[in-house]
Structure 1
């Protein structure tokens, strides 16, 4: 690339001398020169040639001297690197120029070998600055894209190496899939400004919870959110993180519902499905668009577990695959679900808080479920007794209704 140099000096012979001394570099396209006789003419020339890379200016000139020109150059947004030239005995002005931002200086009479070396050094410095700015701009763009998906600290770590960290690869991951009940009806009835406020607050709050657990927001599609763990960075405890995150998302979603209910808005419950397994994970956007996401059966299973909540009456449904990987998992079995499009059942669980897990009702549920799983005829009275004491428990009611309708066992076909 040709470097363009603006030489500002009122000596009439300087232009011819410079072009003669740099004729080889000009011929080879390494440099090109523009000349001006004073500071005002230099500013006019810069307006016509904003691509100028370097300014070489004398100090003592008519109309506008080199120091005034230097001050104007430093005021502009595109600060030009400048070499000042002055008489050897004029060190006071040279010192002022350096304090005003000049990159280097030369003394008169000009030694052209010294001028060439100083120009080369300055152009290298300019190129280094440009490369640093380019890298910074790339990092900022990467960080802006990554911040949509990852927690702030993780986004900072990934920004410098986005290509390496987000390349498409098979990974073992945990997936959370969330959805809101009755959201379509809300869209059809709510005013646009209210819907915008609702959804923005909801997604922002849910994202904050995900980032607090160092999860990755892979997709936000309307009211649905897809979250990944163990991607893009390794998280040995990814299953534990995912279930803890799911429970906090549930708590946040319920608190959000209550806040808006107090304002007269009936916002639906957040349903959550969690599963783990292999998936194809990475940036599928190519060079022009960043879209860090995951594909595969693991993602589909998490989405179908989310949908199973509607059938079961629960708000969180996690697979046995992830439950068994969680340290000290607390939850109760839901049943063996044959998800839509599947032929083999998947054991599912409802995660519980420590207090709920320790409550007598949970152990009573476990006993009733064991009877149901074994085909014991006492399963129905066991669930009936639970409904009598815990009528608000949707899962207990679900199993009792199944039994009253003649169902047996814990295998359930979901459509």
Structure 2
């Protein structure tokens, strides 16, 4: 659904818009919010942070459309505006475009043309939103950030998206490349890095194929998070795919030693906190997940043997109808007061 703010002082425009777009409103394609001037529009932007586009008249009392345009970057930098102007009012149209308007339509409004213009604008905005989401989920923001960059990203999008802390249900997977630490002591550094990157690339492709995202690389291990529908099933499917891909790979000849890549995996599912974790002093923030569910997934990986995918009994109860599993028994895990019953997911 696209959420559209219509700004115009004509009293009958709200009814006209609802009539012209009644089918798309009924089918939840469009949702409209209305304001009568620029000042009221800014209040609506505050009340509705999920707005996608603004359709605004230029000539209005209290605050005109051009002034509204100049205030939008501060109110919500992701919003794009389509301006409505009298035919031939080229000076205002040029001013609007210079102030960041995405497009314009002329009065009297051709609603078919308006619909096409809105669709084009919405597609652009959705692409921007998806780009921001991809940046967040792929942790491209894991870097030292100086004050100028933070100021640039400060406002609605940065606060509500990139810095949003939330509690969510998700699945976490830790994948460790077995025996790699010993190998690093026996081959040159460049060979080590190239070999590990090649293995990571195979692992990451299977994670992405199941809709997961890589949270971080930890030495010779990968942490991945799966959210949304069937997140546990997708995490286990990814683990099985990783195991299958690496098992079909031949031995790697490093020049002085041959190495057969194997992995051990721990998976857990449950409630966790998602947010930016790090140090404000050094301006480094990692968008990641934390909590007992995450810690348990890592602990399960540490007890997994080469080729094993290990889950807890709680996860087994959820996954047993979809996956073949085998009970291993009780194990003592770090920071757990009682032994934990674990299972391995079979082929």
Normalised by the shorter chain, which TM-score bucket?
0.5 to 0.7
Two-structure CA RMSD over aligned residues (Å): 3.7
1:279-315, CA deviations, whole angstroms, 9 ceiling, x for partnerless residues?
11134469976633111111111111111024xx652
Matches within 5 A, 1:120-139: 120-128=92-100
Structure 1 runs, 4 residues or longer, greater than 6 Å off: 134-138, 285-290
1:119 Cα deviation (Å)?
A: 3.8
Question: Match of 2:324?
Answer: 330
1:212 Cα deviation (Å)?
A: 0.8
Q: Are residues 1:344 and 2:319 paired?
A: no
Matches within 5 A, 1:5-404: 118-128=90-100, 142=132, 145-146=135-136, 148=138, 163-164=160-161, 167-230=164-227, 234-235=228-229, 237-256=230-249, 258-260=250-252, 264-284=257-277, 291-310=286-305, 315-326=308-319, 327-353=321-347
* TM-score normalized with structure 2 length: 0.54
Asked if structure 1 preserves the Cα contact closer than 8 Å seen for 2:173 and 2:265, the reply is: yes
1:14-60, CA deviations, whole angstroms, 9 ceiling, x for partnerless residues?
xxxxxxxxxxxxxxxx9xxxxxxxxxxxxxxxxxxxxxxxxxxxxxx
1:322 Cα deviation (Å)?
A: 1.2
Separation in 2, partners of 1:139, 1:285: 24
1:216 Cα deviation (Å)?
A: 2.2
Q: For residues 279 and 188 of structure 1, do their structure 2 counterparts lie closer, same or farther at Cα, with a shift above 3 Å needed?
A: same
| Higher fraction of helix | 1
Separation in 2, partners of 1:192, 1:262: 11
Asked if structure 2 preserves the Cα contact closer than 8 Å seen for 1:174 and 1:322, the reply is: no
Does the residue aligned with 1:208 lie in a helix, a strand or coil?
Answer: helix
Question: Match of 1:82?
Answer: none
Asked if structure 2 preserves the Cα contact closer than 8 Å seen for 1:240 and 1:325, the reply is: no
| Higher fraction of strand | 2
Provide structure 2 residue ranges, at least 5 long, that are not aligned to the other structure: 1-65, 67-87, 104-120, 141-155
1:277 Cα deviation (Å)?
A: 2.0
Does the residue aligned with 2:296 lie in a helix, a strand or coil?
Answer: helix
1:145 Cα deviation (Å)?
A: 2.1
1:245-278, CA deviations, whole angstroms, 9 ceiling, x for partnerless residues?
211122223334x241597532542111111222
Provide structure 1 residue ranges, at least 5 long, that are not aligned to the other structure: 1-29, 31-113, 151-159, 354-415
Does the residue aligned with 1:214 lie in a helix, a strand or coil?
Answer: coil
